[in-house]
């Protein structure tokens, strides 16, 4: 394949058995918000309930995706050429590999997601965009040791050099009791100085209490429940990494490029930040 490779590692995709289409999955709901085509009735129903509650939910998804793009661009500009993107989502427009390879064709991207549909789409979509090296792992953020030990990751990334660890709109699907803080700490510890942590996270701080409660209730029927966190809890995920300017801010306010979307305040009740390991 000219220009790069796409490898699918760790666990072959097994279509129907694993692909539980009867319950909503965050990856497929997110794809629905983004206007993609990879969702089933249960995903659409749950997503429509969220849209009824937050009419700007689709814009919120876009705003999150745009943050991801700006953060990847920032990482490349800082000299980082390796990306570990956990909670990848269906690699639609503006994905990490697309942005990274636009600015740095030699960048190496490892995608990790626990939803089997992401694997299948990653395989299909990335095969048509073979600019650069992208590896896709079927693994779970709740088992970070397995991610780090995966031969696919070890082959693709050199952990003695800086890596951008991306936890974008994923930690709010991992509960404290499932080891959210411990998982992020283990991943941070595995990274070399100069590495970045790129993170966004939904918060009840920026929502009416009733909206927060109802959003959480709708996601409680999904494959991963939603765990909104307050600012101080989100900030803890960065550990001793140093937040770069402008710090931890509401999503669209992280180094905006151009005008902000009308209605962004309500559409994007989430924090975003990028921090560096010194």
Ligand X SMILES: C[S@@+](CC[C@H](N)C(=O)[O-])C[C@H]1O[C@@H](n2cnc3c(N)ncnc32)[C@H](O)[C@@H]1O
Which positions lie near ligand X, rule CB under 6 A? 26-27, 30, 64-65, 68, 86-89, 112-115, 118, 140-142, 168-170, 173-174, 224
d(CA 70, CA 75): 9
- Shortest-Cβ-distance residue relative to ligand X: 89
Place of tokens 């490029």: 257
Taking the complex as a whole, the smallest distance from the CB of residue 73 to ligand X amounts, in Å, to 15
Taking the complex as a whole, the smallest distance from the CB of residue 146 to ligand X amounts, in Å, to 11
Taking the complex as a whole, the smallest distance from the CB of residue 8 to ligand X amounts, in Å, to 16
CA dihedral 14, 24, 98, 137 (to 10 degrees): -40
Kindly tell me which of 16 and 160 has the beta carbon lying closer to ligand X: 16
Kindly tell me which of 3 and 124 has the beta carbon lying closer to ligand X: 124
Task: Please count the CA atoms within 13 angstroms of the CA of 204 that sit on its side-chain side.
Answer: 14
d(CA 54, CA 64): 15
Kindly tell me which of 88 and 97 has the beta carbon lying closer to ligand X: 88
Determine if residue 4 is left, alpha or beta; phi over 0 gives left, psi from -120 to 50 gives alpha, anything else beta.
Answer: left
Kindly tell me which of 12 and 240 has the beta carbon lying closer to ligand X: 12
Rg, the chain, Cα only: 17
Taking the complex as a whole, the smallest distance from the CB of residue 64 to ligand X amounts, in Å, to 5
């Amino acid at each position: 394949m000219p220009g790069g490779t796409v490898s699918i590692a760790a666990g072959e995709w097994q279509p129907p058995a694993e692909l539980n289409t009867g319950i909503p999955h965050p990856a497929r709901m997110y794809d629905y918000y983004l206007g993609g085509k990879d969702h089933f009735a249960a995903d659409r129903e749950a997503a429509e309930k969220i849209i009824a509650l937050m009419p700007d939910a689709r814009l919120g998804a876009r705003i999150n995706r745009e943050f991801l793009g700006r953060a990847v661009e920032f990482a490349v500009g800082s000299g980082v050429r390796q990306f570990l993107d956990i909670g990848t989502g269906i690699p639609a427009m503006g994905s990490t590999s697309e942005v990274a390879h636009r600015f740095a064709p030699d960048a190496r991207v490892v995608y990790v997601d626990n939803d089997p549909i992401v694997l299948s789409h990653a395989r299909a979509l990335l095969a048509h965009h073979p600019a650069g090296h992208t590896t896709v792992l079927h693994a779970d953020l709740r088992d970070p040791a397995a991610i780090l030990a995966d031969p696919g990751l070890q082959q693709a990334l050199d952990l003695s050099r800086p890596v951008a660890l991306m936890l974008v709109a994923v930690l709010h699907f991992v509960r404290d009791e499932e080891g959210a803080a411990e998982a992020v700490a283990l991943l941070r510890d595995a990274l070399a100085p100069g590495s970045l942590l790129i993170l966004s996270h939904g918060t009840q701080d920026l929502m009416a209490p009733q909206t927060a409660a109802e959003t959480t209730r709708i996601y409680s029927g999904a494959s991963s429940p939603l765990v909104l966190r307050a600012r101080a809890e989100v900030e803890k995920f960065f550990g001793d990494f140093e937040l770069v300017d402008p710090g931890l801010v509401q999503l669209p306010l992280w180094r905006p490029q151009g005008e902000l979307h009308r209605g962004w305040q309500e559409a994007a009740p989430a924090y975003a930040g990028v921090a560096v390991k010194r």
